[in-house]
Amino acid sequence: MARIKKGDQVIVIAGKDKGKTGRVLKVMPDVDRVVVEGVQRVTKHVKAGQTAQGARTGGIETVEAPIHISNVMPIDPKTKKRTRVGFRVEEGVRPNGRKRTVRVRYAKKSGEDL
């Protein structure tokens, strides 16, 4: 199970954007990188093209680039500070009455579920 998932609120702990917070937009587990909203913004030159209505597109855009997953930490929902992630196994009951074990991510600082 992943420690950081899409939609998590994280804080950057290293690099030029250290201290910034944002939501995870994309996780790339094969290269150990994440894209965080408002972090690691780079300018990208887009080639001019045409849309179906005939309007021209292109120019210089600012987009978020991937950042290494070790440079971000989740934010604790209770204390609003960075925290490590733990896992615990809970018993759940399905609608048909069968029991099921579920792994739940939680914040080590406060014990709140992530």
Q: How high is the pLDDT of residue 23?
A: 95
- Residue spans of the domains in the chain: they are 1-75, 76-113
| Residues 82, 76: Cα–Cα separation, whole Å | 6
Residues 37-73 have pLDDT tens digits of: 999 999 989 888 777 676 677 888 888 999 999 999 9
pTM attached to this predicted model: 0.77
Q: For residue 6, what pLDDT is reported?
A: 93
The reported pLDDT for the residue numbered 49 is 79
Residue 17 gets the label, from left (phi > 0), alpha (psi -120 to 50) or beta, of alpha
pLDDT given for residue 1 in this prediction = 63
CATH architecture of residue range(s) 1-75: Roll (2.30)
Contacts of 113 (CB under 8 A, 6+ apart): 104, 105, 106, 107
Check residue 59 and give its pLDDT. Answer: 85
pLDDT of the residue at 73 = 94
